[in-house]
Structures are given as structure tokens and as C-alpha cells.
């Protein structure tokens, strides 16, 4: 199982901080169509001056590119999973512990995936290497330990690997960024224009602390 994860929003609590924080993942069964999506858009839809941009990001592409990305992802062999947290509901003692919040949210999402999907082989979780300034080794150990602690039927620890990759080189991470952006916009602005294009692909929806799980 290959899972690609990215996020949208921030974990700050200042006056300009976002109200929501989203971690989204793609469970990808075939990477090639996603790679082709971005390659085709880069080749056919971008102006010559923009063809050398290092990577596609939800927050810096125009509406037409966003629409084409989501239309393409809707045809790919993948599932969408996400977790969203309302920061105003986070306990005050945790509000300055950004890493703890991020780690726990990621662990909850991964644990739910492993509970809902049958395990038939290794689980590879790919994360943007610059994701929220995480300390990689600590994050990897924490995530795997939490998953192992929460599960009644525990997989071998060696079955789970956390891989930190350069998002500019991995279109599946870029796709996860678009999904996270669409989910965040759905909550932040009640705007489902982009999310509705991929909604049928969503298999896990963790909404904290509303108590909802799809």
C-alpha cells in the first residue's frame, strides 16, 4: 500500500492563523496516471514562461489548472483520506505544541487507514520532506509507535516505512497538496467547487472534534 500525504493550513494560533488544519492522503494503486496528469498539464496548459516552475501547488495555480488537476485525479485509481481539526477546540495547553498536534493527527489518520484497509504487504507512507518543519527521525518513530500502540492486530513493525521525499520530484505528493487544499477550502469557506470533483473518491473523513467519520 502506497500512501502520499500533505497538509493545508497552519498550526499557529495567532490572529492571522487559519481556523482549520487539514492532513490529506492519497492511497495510490497506480502512480503512472497521476504522473501523466501533471506532465500533460505542464506540456499543454502552461505558458512557456511557466513551464519551468518547480512544482504544482494548490495555492499558486489558477482556477483552470485546478479544475484540470481534479478532473484528472477523479479518473485515477486512488482513494482519498483526510483528517481536519478545528484549532479553537484544541486544549490550551497544546496550542503551542505544534509538532504534537501534527504527529497525533497524522497517527490517527494512518491508524484509521490500516484499520479500514486489509494489509496484504508493506505500507509505504510518503511525506513531503519539508512538511511543517518536522524532525524526521522523531516523527517516524512517533508515528509508527502510535500506530502499533493503537492497533489490536499489530502488523510487523518492518511492514511500515515512512519515506520523506522532495515534493517537486513527486507528482503524487503534489496531488495530495491539491486534495488538502480543496478540503481546507471546503471547511474554511464552505466552498466545495473543487472538492465535489473528487468527493466520490473519499473513503475516510476524520472531522475533529465533530465526531464524524465517513
The whole domain housing 80 covers: 2-213
For the record, the C-alpha cell of 66 comes out as: 485546478
Phi, psi of 6 (to 5 degrees): -150, 180
Crossing angle of helices 171-189 and 63-73, rounded to 10°: 110
Domain with 30 in it: what CATH number? 3.30.420.10
- Max Cα distance, the chain (Å): 54
Strand locations in the chain, DSSP E?
2-9, 20-28, 78-86, 123-128, 160-165, 202-208, 212-213
| Average pLDDT, 10 consecutive residues per value, the chain (214 residues) | 92 76 95 91 67 77 90 95 86 67 86 86 86 67 77 65 89 96 94 94 87 52
Determine the pLDDT at residue 39: 86
The model's pTM: 0.88
* Residues shown for the chain: 214
Q: What is the DSSP letter of 210?
A: T
Distance, CA of 146 to CA of 102 (rounded, Å)? 13
Eight-class DSSP state of 155: P
What is the per-residue pLDDT for 95?
A: 63
Q: What is the pLDDT of residue 52?
A: 62
- Asked whether the beta carbons of 58 and 66 are under 8 A apart, the reply is yes
> For position 92, what pLDDT does the model report?
67
Number of domains in the chain: 1
Amino acid at each position: 500500500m502506497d500512501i502520499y500525504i500533505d497538509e493545508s493550513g497552519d498550526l499557529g494560533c495567532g490572529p492571522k492563523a487559519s481556523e482549520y488544519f487539514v492532513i490529506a492522503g492519497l492511497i495510490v494503486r497506480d502512480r503512472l496516471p497521476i504522473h501523466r496528469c501533471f506532465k500533460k498539464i505542464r506540456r499543454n496548459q502552461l505558458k512557456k514562461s511557466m513551464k519551468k516552475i518547480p512544482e504544482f501547488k494548490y495555492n499558486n495555480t489558477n482556477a483552470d489548472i485546478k479544475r484540470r488537476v481534479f478532473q484528472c485525479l477523479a479518473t485515477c485509481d486512488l482513494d482519498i483520506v483526510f483528517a481536519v481539526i478545528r484549532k479553537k477546540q484544541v486544549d490550551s495547553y497544546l496550542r503551542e505544541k505544534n509538532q504534537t498536534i501534527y504527529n497525533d493527527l497524522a497517527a490517527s489518520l494512518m491508524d484509521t487507514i490500516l484499520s479500514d484497509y486489509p494489509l496484504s504487504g508493506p505500507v509505504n507512507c510518503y511525506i513531503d520532506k519539508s512538511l511543517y518543519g518536522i524532525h524526521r527521525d522523531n516523527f517516524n518513530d512517533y508515528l509508527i509507535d502510535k500506530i502499533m500502540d493503537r492497533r489490536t492486530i499489530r502488523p510487523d513493525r518492518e511492514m511500515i516505512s515512512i519515506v520523506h521525499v522532495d515534493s517537486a520530484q513527486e507528482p503524487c505528493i503534489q496531488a495530495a497538496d491539491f486534495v488538502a487544499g480543496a478540503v481546507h477550502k471546503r471547511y474554511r469557506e464552505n466552498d466545495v467547487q473543487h472538492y465535489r470533483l473528487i468527493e466520490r473518491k473519499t473513503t475516510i473523513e476524520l472531522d475533529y472534534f465533530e465526531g464524524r467519520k465517513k
